[in-house]
Structure 1
Amino acid sequence: MLARRLTRRDFVKAGGAFALTAATFPTILSSCLGGGTSGGSKTLKILQWSHFVPAYDKWFDPWVKAWGQSKGVTVTVDHITYDQIPIRTAAEINAGSGHDLILWIVPPSQYEPSLVDMGDVVKQVEQKYGPQLDFAKLTNFNPHTNRYFGFTYSFAPDPGDYRKSLFAQAGMSDGPTTWNDMLSAVTQIKSKSKGAVRGGIGFSPEPDSNMAARALIWSYGGSEQDKDSNVTINSDAVVQAVDFMARLFKQAETSEVFSWNAASNNQGLVAGSLSYILNSISAYRTAQASKPDVAKDIFFAKPLSGPGPKALASEHVIQTYVIPKFSKSQDTAKEFLLYLADHASDFVYQSKLYEFPVNPTTNAQDKLYGSGGWPHSDPYQSDPVTKLQVLKDATTWSVNVGYPGPASPAIGEIFDKNILPSMMAAAAKGDKTPKQAVADAETQIKAIFANWRQKGLVGGTT
């Protein structure tokens, strides 16, 4: 799912149940947890990515450790870059030891056989805060096996980030509303700046390029699969989307877009070399601290419309905790996740509104969606303070990787191998026609689906 291609075929079936008296935990756990580690002091080892909003980690680490102290649990938190999470997860599962909780920012579905079922946690949280949003359920639940292989608790919206002053020069001071609008504007901006300021949609083996490819395909009415996990990538709609991306590259971008990492578009926007990117608000938050004049000029747009029926965006980040079966602190890990869900307003605020909860009635509800809530009056001093109100309805236009179907192990592998941005790049470089690029992608995708269907983890027939 990230910049490096990883092998997902090594699954460890080790692990098992560890007994502990349920009475040692709060009532909320008694109906869903069978106990915890028996004997000795309790520990909880957490592995997660270094947050794109660094202030979040500075809050989270002492916060979770304080929770541990109140429960007699020694908590350790290790942070690594997001692209190392899959590598460490695979290594720990293969070794049969490591962290008790691992936080992913993209669907970890391909590890399902080695992960603890989290249905008990999901149900407890839903009883208190309402059912998970559809895209969250499709991220942490496999309908083919009827298992929750993770616990998804938050997501980051993925709006368009644009430089208002530059788009004003193209007659779009309020930003683009369609892909064609965006193409027209970034083409004009590149021409007027003599190539100094370019479009910022990537074609690289990294998450943002994956998300952009999917958003464009959906806007044309295409998808990589249908709701029943049948492969649908080879369609006229997808071919048209690939053709659009090839035109975008030729008119408004340079070859830099083929070798980006996930930070490149953020850096380009803040540096002033990119006029429009698809991203979360993290680049903007960085600019607020480092380049306030640039931050003042960064505004946000909803997903761009295409010829298809609806404008959609993939969630930029979808946070899902998993518990490997080898963990000896499974119940302690689940207890903490329930505590985390109780503190939605804290993780939203401490992430500087980067994260939104995926259950509809948490204690962050009024602060995010009520009159005069945070998006309408940014507590982190946006100028104007209403700048983030575009995110208020993000739950209505955000969907999961693999939409309209689930984020299955097959979809996870397609993301891992960067098949969709590679398909776009092949056409943009002129190596293949759009039709050839899509046909080749279909061959790869069908082979991946066939492999996972053999393992009994993915539905569909075609």
Structure 2
Amino acid sequence: MSITRRDLIRTTAGLAVGAAGAGLIGMPARAEETMKITPEEGAELRVTRWSPFVDGDEKQWLANTEQFTKDTGIKVTIDKESWEDIRPKAAVAASVGSGPDIMWVWFDDPQQYPDQLLDLTDLADYLGNKYGGWYDGPKAYATNDGKFVGLPIATIGNAMVYRKSWVKEAGFEEFPKTTDEFLKLCQALQKSGHPAGFTHGHGVGDGNNYAHWLLWSHDGAMVDEKGNVTINSPESIEAIKYASELYKTFIPGTESWLDVNNNRAFLAGQVGVTANGVSAYYAAANDPKLAEFAKDVGSANLPVGKSGKDIELHQVTSAVVFKYTKYPNAAKLYLQYMFEKPRMSKWIESSSAYCCQTLKAYADNPIWTANPVFAPYAKASETLRTNGFAGPLGSASAGVMADYVLVDMFAEAVTGQRTPEQAAERAAERAKRYYEA
């Protein structure tokens, strides 16, 4: 990529970068499209992100970062943490005031320490105005008190992945669209020696995604619109009983699964169906030894329950900038650069349908029509429901999710540790510690 004198104006005080059309992306721009950010002299950045499940995601992000350093002279070091370690380490950094300048966090993590995060509203507004606006769900996760305290990077879609031949062998010509039919499929798969497997452990993504789908598909909710805890309800009891019936069809051990376990079980041929990002298919499609396996992989949106609507929790990751950073302008410039079309479009495409766009203008990325398996993931940002439903996002919703209240409710009941009624009651007690504090 060539950079002209209009792209970067170097001065002894630093760099004035025009990052709109006439800026970093080398296209004509109107004055209102241009946002200039002058980084601090001698700026260096440290970024912490989660470990990738799709190689193309990491490789392209690193390539974009290297280009950023070439274009601006700002060195960027990128560290990786496991999915489960991101949340506690981000909280520690916010608490002690030391750590990475930028960090990729999960769901409503920014709501736990908004006062420790840099206000990115001006940058978010610039990007939103230029690229068709932010999807409501990702935006809600990244905003607090009307301000952007993060930038939503991606929504990691969640869908059913299954073995097509085994589903047909079980007597189903197509994947079930309702929860009742889905239970029948799982029962048939178990009888044919191909059990189901869904995460009941503390998987940041898969555990939360599955638990929220179970609850919402039966019209349950953790809280009402005012934030009153409503999890101990007939709807929740019904959801727990349904989950218990599904659990009888599972491979043993799912109560201890984390985010990697269902991938491994599916790729090893131990389960016939699970819920996952596109990473399970991606791993098979990129392994010559699993070429035939990959041809047998199908995907579908999660079955619909009582509501009659697609209601799913997809995993949103946002980039936050901690206030303690010595280089706030450089951090904002880096994020601006990465969200501009030449970088963001290529990153979404390289992620092979794993990372769904959070800005609407990127919805026409060619990756979404490149493979039928990718289709259920294409609208993850558009259809997601936030975990704070039906109440507002904030420290309470973030705390309840971080404490795995909903995940534990289902796990305790399906494993027989508590009755459905006892599990719902305990979940309500735990949730009230956050919502009534």
Whether the 8 Å contact between 2:353 and 2:377 is mirrored in structure 1 is: no
Whether the 8 Å contact between 2:19 and 2:337 is mirrored in structure 1 is: no
SS at match of 1:431: coil
**Residue 26 of structure 2: aligned partner:** none
Q: Tell me how far 1:229 sits from its aligned partner.
A: 3.1
1:395/1:100 Cα in 2 relative to 1: closer, same or farther (>3 Å)? closer
Q: Tell me how far 1:240 sits from its aligned partner.
A: 0.6
For 1:79-118, what aligned pairs fall within 5 Å after superposition? 79-108=80-109, 109-118=111-120
The answer as to 2:177 corresponding to 1:177 is yes
**Residue 5 of structure 1: aligned partner:** none
What is the number of residues matched between the two proteins?
Answer: 409
1:75/1:22 Cα in 2 relative to 1: closer, same or farther (>3 Å)? closer
Q: Tell me how far 1:95 sits from its aligned partner.
A: 3.5
Q: Distance in 1 between matches of 2:274 and 2:250?
A: 12
**Residue 311 of structure 1: aligned partner:** 310
Q: Tell me how far 1:254 sits from its aligned partner.
A: 4.3
Whether the 8 Å contact between 1:303 and 1:397 is mirrored in structure 2 is: no
- Structure 2, unmatched stretches of 5+, are 1-11, 24-31
Q: Distance in 2 between matches of 1:91 and 1:436?
A: 33
Q: Tell me how far 1:255 sits from its aligned partner.
A: 3.9
Q: Distance in 2 between matches of 1:376 and 1:23?
A: 40
Q: Distance in 2 between matches of 1:148 and 1:267?
A: 37
Q: Distance in 2 between matches of 1:346 and 1:228?
A: 41
Q: Tell me how far 1:125 sits from its aligned partner.
A: 0.8
For 1:299-378, what aligned pairs fall within 5 Å after superposition? 299-315=298-314, 317-342=315-340, 343-361=343-361, 364-367=362-365, 373-378=366-371
Q: Tell me how far 1:148 sits from its aligned partner.
A: 2.0
Whether the 8 Å contact between 2:123 and 2:332 is mirrored in structure 1 is: yes
Paired AA for residue 210 in structure 1: N
Q: Distance in 2 between matches of 1:199 and 1:430?
A: 19
Range moving further from structure 2, 229-238 or 216-225: 229-238
**Residue 24 of structure 1: aligned partner:** 16
For 1:442-457, what aligned pairs fall within 5 Å after superposition? 442-451=428-437
SS at match of 2:303: coil
Q: Distance in 1 between matches of 2:226 and 2:128?
A: 25
**Residue 128 of structure 2: aligned partner:** 126
Paired AA for residue 414 in structure 2: A
Which 4+ runs in 1 deviate beyond 6 A?
Answer: 20-23, 29-34
Identity level (%):
24
Alignment RMSD (CA, Å): 2.3
Structure 1 counterpart of 2:209, from 208, 211, 219: 211
1:213/1:63 Cα in 2 relative to 1: closer, same or farther (>3 Å)? same
Q: What's the CA shift string for 1:46-69, capped at 9, x where partnerless?
A: 111111112322222232122122
Whether the 8 Å contact between 1:104 and 1:320 is mirrored in structure 2 is: yes
Q: Distance in 2 between matches of 1:443 and 1:32?
A: 48
Q: Distance in 1 between matches of 2:13 and 2:35?
A: 12
Range moving further from structure 2, 221-230 or 280-289: 221-230
Paired AA for residue 42 in structure 1: A
Q: Tell me how far 1:336 sits from its aligned partner.
A: 1.5
**Residue 5 of structure 2: aligned partner:** none
For 1:134-213, what aligned pairs fall within 5 Å after superposition? 134-142=136-144, 145-193=145-193, 197-207=194-204, 208-213=206-211
Q: What's the CA shift string for 1:291-332, capped at 9, x where partnerless?
A: 1222111111112111224231111x3120001110011111
- The alignment's TM-score, normalised by the length of structure 2, stands at 0.87
Q: Distance in 2 between matches of 1:294 and 1:159?
A: 18
Q: Distance in 2 between matches of 1:105 and 1:293?
A: 34
